[in-house]
Structure 1
Amino acid sequence: MLLALLTAAPAAADAVDPRILPAKPRYTRNAACSPVTIAMPPSTHRLPGSNRISPRPADIPVGQGESAICFAYATADMISQRVGVAVSPLDVAGKFYFADPARLSAIRDPQIRAHLRAHPDHLADIAWSRNAADISKDGNPHLEPYFDKLEGGEEDAAALLYNLGGLCEERDLPSHEGYAHFTGYFAALRFSAPVRAPNMSFRSVGTAPDKLRSRRADAVNAAWLAQAEALCRRRPLPVPLLPVSFRVAANQLEFMEMLEAGRAPGAATVSRMLAMVDYALDHSRAPTVGYSWYVLEERDPKDPDVAADHSSAIVARRRAGGSCQYLVQDNTGEYCARMREGIRERCDNGRVWLKEEELRRTLYSVIYLR
């Protein structure tokens, strides 16, 4: 029954909720922890290396594979629920890293214009978010900022930038298992980059910060963006994407440093974040949260990542065993059997019921769409 509810999406664009929630509501906890389930649009997971579709794709959230862009998968979940179709996380990531944020001011939608006026620092915030991205060294010894080597991002900035250019569905630009559908394509682009670079104009990546640009990377990234445009059958968003966010830290590592320095967020602050989660769920929105993956799985002592920064959408709430619980939609593709004892029993096909006290320990951000 749960899966049926989770995947019961609107059948047409006119079924999308047209309401725009208040910009500054009064957040209060849902004291009864009353049950609620957010309808998520069904997705089609094309299997890497094949044109075949997963036999039960709606049961399995899209997984990020070997990529490190959980922010894009969580943001795509949040956007998909808002617009009623499954959008491509790779498209979300592409816009976050390379879309021209100055174009936001040219959008005529009055709600977006009001949102930009209320957030006059949005350009600086987007620039900060992009400069905070990391570059993977895996198969990339010179740390070239190739698209498929970029890691990390901010969900609110990614959602705001997704107002540009129309939506691209997951079926057009498949993201299941990260870049697995395009591994050979990216390898070929990197091989040809030294030849292509001197002869190309890279206006499509020209607004990215210096950290995300180099002669070779520009050639690869411009070609990838052109490929994405060729594959995507874009159509207008049915509603504007207006993110509301609150964070006590920029990421999980900063959150851990706060704890070590004795500056843990107070109970009232954490309760405010959970009240935002409750508010979003009670108003038919799927919020995303920033937390630590190690809540779900034990850290391997050899893993150099001490923080395991993670982002997921929350798609349901219930009271069970005397505790308020939230259904987190994981996007790593990890098997439930590998998760912590006690957690794995509350896991089903990538969705995990977390107790409030488990979430409280590492929760550092909440974002939802008005």
Structure 2
Amino acid sequence: MRGRRSSRFPGPVIAACAAALATWALPALAQVDPRILPLQATHRRNPTCATVETRIPFDVHEGTRDVALSPSPREMPMNQGESAICFAYATADMISHRLGRQIAPLDVATKTYFADPERLAAIPALREHLKAHPNWRADIAWSRNAAEMSNIGNPKLLPYFDKIEGGEEDTAALLYNIGGLCEDRDLPSNDGYRYANPTLRRLRYRSRLAPRPMSFRSLAGTVPHLRHPQTDTFNAAWIAHVESRCRRVPLAVPLLPVSYRVAANQAEFVELRDSGTPPSQKAITRILAMIDYALDHGRVPTIGYSWYLLEDRDPKDPDLHADHASPVIARRKVGGTCQYRIQDNTGEYCARMREGMREACENGRVWVGEEALRRTLYSVTYLR
């Protein structure tokens, strides 16, 4: 589960229903690669570690009002702030690159938790992909049932949208086929819930006054784990707010995720390693081969790894594993070593990273050597 809270902060680890059916018949967005990569691809390492550089679309987001900060948010990737939904930010980056538009991570998270997965079966362009992955319903349910609830301002651990933590990039990408895309300019997501907080506070107040759900339909497709009489009204109102803000645009291409993992999460990865039965080097090499394949075929992959690869753990931080997700945006060879550039989404400044990483970091984008990456890498996802 990727839900790392930004380490910048102290304390605990911290209506377009019909459009989906017509999505694929409408004109493609400009500069979108129309190719769909093979369902059964052969993944191999790039033998020369040839240089590859990609760019994730980056518009002037809300965070740029803080131009007095150094470095300026203009130069930093969009960050998750105090939220614990790094999977949504990594997935949004992956989708933004695929579609050529900056997608709102908060919209990605909303669909991940609440979109009705049965709507996927009604999308013709997904039929082959879903047939090849017959367990897709169970995978979505597993991801949602594995979500955790923050106890910050939420002692009963209730499933309010902004208190739900964690998710999987492949599930998030697949569910984003539903309803069309929402750009970040419509639903500003920089710095987590910062720009949504006034709305969230208002909805929380209103839901306490009138706890009856405004619409059962908007929540009917999720799992009981994310339902509760005290949160249903709030979550239904949040979904309605998202739909009122988002000027939905049909997707130019279907989002068909390919993923592989050697552990369910970083905690399991560490447990396997410490028990003397770590994931094999062959399995880790397969992840690296999929990263190479994605980059070589014009895709930005996302990876699951530990944030402590980049920054030392604060002894007071109760998070032992710092499960994290980021896109990989470039590759190069330096001194015989293959390096990959990770785009971090915590908003952390390079100066606070560990020795060796801070020198390889520029505005939140860090070059990491293959051997260092192997010590914590446990999953990869890319879009066909």
TM-score with structure 2 length normalisation?
0.89
TM-superposed deviation, 1:58: 5.7
The partner residue of 1:174 within 177, 185, 188 is: 188
The partner residue of 2:43 within 16, 27, 47 is: 27
* Contact 2:213 2:232 (C-alpha < 8 Å) held by counterparts: no
TM-superposed deviation, 1:305: 0.5
Distance (whole Å) between structure 1 residues aligned to residue 271 and residue 34 of structure 2: 41
> Alignment partner of 1:313: what SS?
strand
1:2-42 CA-to-partner distances (Å, cap 9, x unmatched) read: xxxxxxxxxx9232100000111111111211100113212
TM-superposed deviation, 1:198: 2.5
List gaps (5 residues or longer) in structure 2. Answer: 1-27
The correspondence of residues 213-362 of structure 1 with structure 2, limited to 5 A, is: 213-362=227-376
Distance 1:200 1:52, change over 3 A: farther
Distance (whole Å) between structure 2 residues aligned to residue 206 and residue 51 of structure 1: 40
Tell me whether 239-248 or 31-40 shows the greater mean CA deviation.
31-40
TM-superposed deviation, 1:43: 2.3
The partner residue of 1:88 within 93, 104, 109 is: 104
The partner residue of 2:378 within 330, 348, 364 is: 364
Aligned to 2:11: none
TM-superposed deviation, 1:187: 1.9
Distance 1:52 1:259, change over 3 A: closer
List gaps (5 residues or longer) in structure 1. Answer: 1-11
Tell me whether 206-215 or 134-143 shows the greater mean CA deviation.
206-215
* Contact 2:259 2:379 (C-alpha < 8 Å) held by counterparts: yes
TM-score with structure 1 length normalisation?
0.93
TM-superposed deviation, 1:56: 6.9
Distance 1:47 1:123, change over 3 A: same
> Alignment partner of 2:118: what SS?
helix
* Contact 1:312 1:331 (C-alpha < 8 Å) held by counterparts: yes
State the AA in 1 paired with 2:161. F
Distance (whole Å) between structure 2 residues aligned to residue 309 and residue 106 of structure 1: 34
> Alignment partner of 1:344: what SS?
coil
Distance (whole Å) between structure 2 residues aligned to residue 230 and residue 191 of structure 1: 19
Q: Does 1:200 align with 2:217?
A: no
Q: Which has a greater percent of helix? A: 1
TM-superposed deviation, 1:192: 2.3
> Alignment partner of 1:317: what SS?
strand
> Alignment partner of 1:165: what SS?
coil
TM-superposed deviation, 1:51: 11
Distance (whole Å) between structure 1 residues aligned to residue 73 and residue 298 of structure 2: 23
* Contact 1:104 1:164 (C-alpha < 8 Å) held by counterparts: yes
Distance (whole Å) between structure 2 residues aligned to residue 131 and residue 237 of structure 1: 28
* Contact 1:79 1:159 (C-alpha < 8 Å) held by counterparts: yes
Aligned to 1:142: 156
* Contact 1:286 1:368 (C-alpha < 8 Å) held by counterparts: yes
Aligned to 1:122: 136
1:31-72 CA-to-partner distances (Å, cap 9, x unmatched) read: 211100113212222139x69999976632100000000000
Aligned to 1:9: none
Distance 1:199 1:229, change over 3 A: closer
* Contact 2:213 2:233 (C-alpha < 8 Å) held by counterparts: no
Using the aligned pairs only, state the percent identity: 60
TM-superposed deviation, 1:126: 0.2
* Contact 1:77 1:86 (C-alpha < 8 Å) held by counterparts: yes
TM-superposed deviation, 1:170: 0.7
State the AA in 1 paired with 2:322. A
